[in-house]
Amino acid sequence: MPTNILRERNRNVSADNALQRRRAAKPQDRRILICAGSVKIRAQLLDTPTADRFWQALPLHSTAETWGQAIHFETPVESGRERNARLLAESGDIVFWVEDDRVVIAFGPTPISRPGELRLPRPCNLWARALDDVRVLKAVRPGEKVSVTPAED
């Protein structure tokens, strides 16, 4: 059999195996790597329907936008608002803005924040928590490429 066909078969089997391993992962084993420009942060997915949708959709690629001391980016993921959706975030929360299909990561006050809070644009689904200091996201500029991938252990 020609080598190029064998290589293609192996590539497809490897991709299928990786997808199966991701689907079988327990919530506590689901970690992601978010790269925005030159900045990288790791995050732990929570046990929520939105987190499940993100885990199945990986890898994701988008473009960063900034909003006060927050970055956000569009995703192809869709999810309804969950019961625990929140309007206020804590540093390190990674949320999904349901109405705009966007991930929002606030590391400081947004333009609509009141003193001492991180206010989101609308109630958002909390689906992950950063394992690293999210203040490094201050270095991200609008238009920089963003990727979200499963974290390598």
Q: Write down all domains in the chain, each with its CATH number in brackets.
A: 27-150 (2.40.100.20)
pLDDT band at 149 (very low <50, low <70, confident <90, very high): very high
Determine if the pTM surpasses 0.85.
Answer: no
DSSP label at residue 38: T
Tokens representing 98?
């349901």
The length of the chain is 153
Give the residue carrying structure tokens 């238009």: 143
CA distance 125 to 135: 21
- How confident is the model at residue 7, as a pLDDT? 53
Give the residue carrying structure tokens 């959709």: 57
More confident residue, 18 or 32: 32
